């Protein structure tokens, strides 16, 4: 679990310090540095694990702060510091275990969407673009998940609980996921939806495939691990986006750390509501808002009443308020 993160001169972030909780929401305007927070964690993992392609994947010219013409970047996670300049990366001799697909999972905003056929992999990786999530699901669909993550129906298998949350988020009691092996290298993915069965992912809205992978990864995580997701609400309508907030609060309440980057006010509103309903403790959630690339992140706490402790900065929730008031 990530308790603290300090960033210096990584991309457009000149200086930032985060004290993370169970549920962490990173939001703000476009190109302000939200994704850079998650990317700094990925960079730290690659550096700490001595990735042979580190300078290829994280070219200094691309990741140093150009606004300040920074000569070095520094990332400190849980007190362990990594520095990088245009020639060398320095890490502590005593390194911590911090590997993707073990200590943390990452779902990029560029994760793969609707596909009828998915690749099978023998590794435990979910893929840089979530291309192996369905492979992991196929292997473990009939296995029990963590006791804490089981829904009130009490069925333990991964497949049942994935279908449960698909139904809840999409507000459809007839949706379910099917994954079958058709060759040594390929899987076929299909969905039951309404009165129809064996529908290809491309025959449904793209949001179904995107949210299915979010659900699968979260339900396979264990307490103490971290799940980082960019834009979990992609291609979902407002009511479903709200239910994604409910789902993430549920996951975080069971001891799995969630770090999510989002623009979605429906998702954030639902997290407030879960705090208000006492389904999630206010002290275990925090929002970080970036007004622009020039300004620092603002930490925003949620009170036990569900309200923001000191209000929310203007220009986000109230973006269309003046238009609605004018309409009357």
In tens, the pLDDT along 103-136 reads: 999 999 999 999 999 999 988 889 889 999 999 9
pLDDT confidence of 172, banded at 50, 70, 90? confident
Polymer length of the chain: 328
Q: Write out the two tokens for 221.
A: 């995580």
- Binned at pLDDT 50, 70 and 90, residue 56 comes out as confident
In which residue are the tokens 């990786």 written? 125
Within a domain: 245: no
Residue 186's Cβ-side half-sphere holds a number of Cα atoms within 13 Å equal to: 7
Q: Is residue 78 part of a domain?
A: no
270 occurs within a structural domain: no
- 294 band by pLDDT with thresholds 50, 70 and 90: confident
Q: How far is 272 from 136, CA to CA, in rounded Å?
A: 32
Q: How far apart are CA 150 and CA 133, in angstroms?
A: 20
Q: What is the pLDDT of residue 52?
A: 75
What pLDDT score was predicted for residue 94? 72
Which residue from 147, 148, 145 is spatially nearest to 162, judged by alpha carbons? 145
Predicted confidence at residue 181, as pLDDT, reads 96
* CA gap 258, 269 in Å, rounded: 17
Maximum CA extent, the chain: 64
- Residue 32 pLDDT grade (very low, low, confident, very high; cuts 50, 70, 90): confident
In contact, 215 and 111? CB cutoff 8 Å: no
Domain span including residue 147: 104-202
- Residues 117 and 180: their CA atoms lie apart, in Å, by 10
**Mean of pLDDT values over 294-316:** 87
Q: Residue 321 domain-assigned?
A: no
- pLDDT at 65 (0 to 100): 94
Which residue has 């980082």 as its token pair? 228
pLDDT score for 314: 75
Confidence of residue 217 (pLDDT cuts 50, 70, 90): very high
Report the C-alpha gap between 46 and 64 in whole angstroms: 16
Residue 67 lies in a domain: no
Say if residue 161's pLDDT is above 90: yes
Q: How confident is the model at residue 152 (pLDDT cuts 50, 70, 90)?
A: confident
- Give the count of domains, the chain: 1
Q: Which two tokens stand for residue 184?
A: 């040594």
Structure confidence at residue 322 (pLDDT): 73
Other Cβ atoms less than 10 A from the Cβ of 30: the count is 9
pLDDT on residue 97: 87
pLDDT at res. 128: 84
The pLDDT-based confidence of 93 (bands split at 50, 70, 90) is confident
Q: What is the pLDDT of residue 195?
A: 85
Residue 21 forms part of a structural domain: no
In a domain? residue 191 = yes
pLDDT at position 53 is 82
What's the sign of the alpha-carbon dihedral 202, 204, 205, 206?
A: negative
- Token representation of residue 92: 């502590």
pLDDT of residue 323: 75
Q: Tell the burial category of 106 from Cβ atoms under 10 Å away from its Cβ (0-12, 13-18, 19+).
A: buried
Does residue 122 form part of some domain?
A: yes
Quote the percentage of the chain above a pLDDT of 90. Answer: 76
Picking from 104, 60, 51, the residue whose alpha carbon sits closest to that of residue 85 is 60
The structure tokens 């203007």 sit at 314
Round the CA-based radius of gyration of the chain to a whole number and report it.
20
| pLDDT confidence of residue 87 | 86
């Amino acid at each position: 679990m990530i308790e603290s993160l300090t960033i210096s001169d990584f991309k457009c972030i000149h200086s930032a310090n985060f004290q993370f909780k169970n549920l962490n929401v990173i939001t703000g305007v476009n190109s302000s540095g939200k994704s850079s927070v998650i990317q700094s964690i990925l960079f730290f993992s690659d550096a700490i694990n001595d990735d042979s392609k580190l300078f290829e994947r994280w070219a200094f010219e691309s990741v140093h702060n150009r606004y300040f013409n920074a000569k070095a970047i520094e990332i400190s996670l849980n007190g362990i510091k990594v520095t990088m300049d245009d020639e060398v990366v320095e890490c502590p001799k005593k390194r911590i275990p911090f590997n993707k697909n073990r200590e943390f999972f990452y779902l990029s905003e560029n994760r793969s969407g609707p596909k009828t056929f998915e690749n099978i992999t023998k590794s435990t990786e979910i893929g840089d673009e979530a291309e192996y999530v369905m492979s992991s699901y196929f292997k473990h669909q009939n296995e029990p998940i963590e006791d804490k993550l089981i829904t009130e129906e009490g069925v333990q298998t991964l497949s049942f609980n994935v279908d449960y949350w698909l139904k809840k988020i999409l507000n459809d009691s007839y949706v379910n996921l099917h994954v079958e092996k058709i060759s040594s290298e390929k899987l076929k993915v299909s969905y039951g939806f309404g009165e129809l069965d064996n529908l290809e992912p491309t025959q449904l809205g793209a949001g179904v495939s995107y949210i299915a992978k979010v659900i699968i990864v979260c339900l396979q995580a264990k307490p103490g691990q971290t799940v980082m997701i960019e834009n979990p609400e992609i291609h979902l309508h407002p009511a479903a986006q709200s239910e994604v907030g409910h789902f993430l609060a549920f996951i975080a309440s069971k001891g799995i750390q969630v770090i999510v980057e989002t623009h979605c006010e429906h998702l954030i509103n639902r997290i407030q509501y879960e705090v208000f309903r006492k389904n999630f403790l206010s002290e275990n959630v925090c929002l970080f808002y970036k007004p622009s690339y020039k300004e620092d992140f603002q930490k925003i706490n949620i009170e036990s009443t569900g309200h923001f402790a000191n209000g929310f900065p203007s220009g986000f929730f109230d973006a269309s308020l003046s238009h609605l008031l004018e309409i009357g």
